[in-house]
Amino acid sequence: MVPESPSPAALRELGNVSIVGLQWGDEGKGKIIDLLSSEFDLAVRWNGGSNAGHKVEVGDKKYRFHLIPIGILRPNVTCVICSGVVIDPLKTLEEIDGLSTQGVTVESNLKLSLNANVVFPYHKLQDQLAESKAADGKIGTTGRGIGPCYADKANRSTAIRLADLLEDSRLKEKLQRIVPEKNAILHALYATQPLDWKPMFEQYRACGEQLRPFICDTTQLLHRALKENKRMLFEGANAVLLDVDHGTVPYVTSSNCGTGLSVGTGLPGKAVDTTLGIIKAYSTRVGSGPMPTELNNGIGDKIRERGHEYGTTTGRPRRCGWIDAVALRYSVAISGASAASLMLLDVLSTFDELKICTGYKVNRQVREWFPADALELQHAEPLYETVPGWHESLDGIRRFEDLPKNAQGYISRLEGHIGIPLKIISIGPGRHQTLIR
Which active-site residues does the annotation give? 26, 54
Q: List the one residue out of 189, 178, 177 whose CA is nearest residue 126.
A: 189
Instruction: Establish how many alpha carbons lie within 13 A of residue 214's alpha carbon, considering only the half-sphere containing its beta carbon.
Output: 27
Shortest Cβ distance from residue 251 to ligand IMP (Å)?
6
Using CA atoms, how far apart are residues 406 and 302, in angstroms rounded to an integer?
Answer: 19
**Closer of 63 and 251 to ligand IMP (Cβ):** 251
Residue 127 C-beta: closest distance to ligand IMP, Å: 7
Q: Does 307 participate in binding ligand IMP (rule CB under 6 A)?
A: no
Residue closer to ligand IMP (CB basis): 315 or 396: 315
By CB under 6 A, tell whether 287 contacts ligand IMP. Answer: yes
* Residue 85 near ligand IMP by CB under 6 A: no
Is residue 86 close enough to count as binding ligand IMP by CB under 6 A? no
- Nearest-5° Cα angle at 251, 191 to 288: 80
User: Out of 92, 254, 341, 406, which residue is the one contacting ligand IMP (CB under 6 A)?
Assistant: 254
In the region spanning residues 122 to 141, those forming contacts with ligand IMP, defined by CB under 6 A, are 139-141
Count of other CB atoms within 10 angstroms of residue 24: 28
Provide the minimum distance between the beta carbon of 293 and ligand IMP in the complex, in angstroms, as a whole number.
16
**Does residue 264 touch ligand IMP according to CB under 6 A?**
no
Q: Is 144 in the site for ligand IMP (CB under 6 A)?
A: yes
Residue 327 binds ligand IMP, judged by CB under 6 A: no
Q: How far is the CB of 401 from ligand IMP (least distance, A)?
A: 33
Give the nearer residue to ligand IMP in terms of CB position, either 92 or 141. Answer: 141
Cα angle, residue 11 at apex, residues 7 and 14 outer, rounded to 5°: 150
x-or-dash string of contact with ligand IMP, 358-387, rule CB under 6 A: ------------------------------
- Strands of 351-419 (E only): list them: 353-362, 365-367, 381-388
**Spatial distance between the Cα atoms of 236 and 253, rounded to a whole number of angstroms:** 13
# residues contacting ligand IMP (CB under 6 A):
21
Please state the closest distance from residue 61 (CB atom) to ligand IMP, in A.
22
User: What is the nearest approach in angstroms of ligand IMP to the Cβ of residue 179?
Assistant: 22
Partners of residue 339 on adjacent β-strands: 276
Q: How far is the CB of 180 from ligand IMP (least distance, A)?
A: 25
Q: How far is CA 430 from CA 106, 335, 427, 433, in A?
A: 23, 27, 9, 5
- For residue 352, count other CB atoms closer than 10 A to its CB: 9
Residue 63 contacts residue 56 (beta carbons within 8 Å)? yes
Check residue 277 for interaction with ligand IMP (CB under 6 A). Answer: no
Interatomic CA distance for residues 383 and 241, integer angstroms? 20
Query: Measured from the CB atom, is 287 or 290 closer to ligand IMP?
Result: 287
Nearer to ligand IMP, 160 or 291 (CB): 291
Please identify, using beta-carbon distances, which residue of 239 and 397 lies nearer to ligand IMP.
239
Q: What are the phi and psi torsion angles at 45 (to 5°)? A: -100, 130
Q: DSSP secondary structure string, 169-235?
A: HHHHHHHHHHHHHHHHHHHHHH-PPPPPHHHHHHHHHHHHHHHGGGEE-HHHHHHHHHHTT--EEEE
State how far the alpha carbon of 154 is from the alpha carbons of 50, 149, 206, in Å.
19, 9, 26
The residue number whose beta carbon is nearest to ligand IMP equals 287
Segment interacting with ligand IMP, rule: CB under 6 A, options 91-99, 188-196, 211-219, 236-244: 236-244
Q: How many CB atoms lie within 10 A of CB 290?
A: 19
Site for ligand IMP in 32-51 (CB under 6 A): 51
Does the protein bind ligand IMP through residue 265 (CB under 6 A)?
no
C-beta closer to ligand IMP: residue 287 or 428: 287
Among 142, 265, 335, 406, binds ligand IMP (CB under 6 A): 142
Among 84, 147, 264, 300, binds ligand IMP (CB under 6 A): 147
Q: Hey, how many other C-beta atoms are within 10 angstroms of the C-beta on 265?
A: 26
Least distance (Å) between residue 239 CB and ligand IMP: 7
Asked if 28 and 343 touch (Cβ cutoff 8 Å), the reply is yes
Q: Is residue 65 classed as helix, strand or coil in its secondary structure?
A: strand
CB-nearer residue toward ligand IMP: 232 or 242: 242
> Contact residues for ligand IMP (CB under 6 A)?
24-26, 51-53, 139-142, 144, 146-147, 237-238, 242, 251, 253-254, 286-287
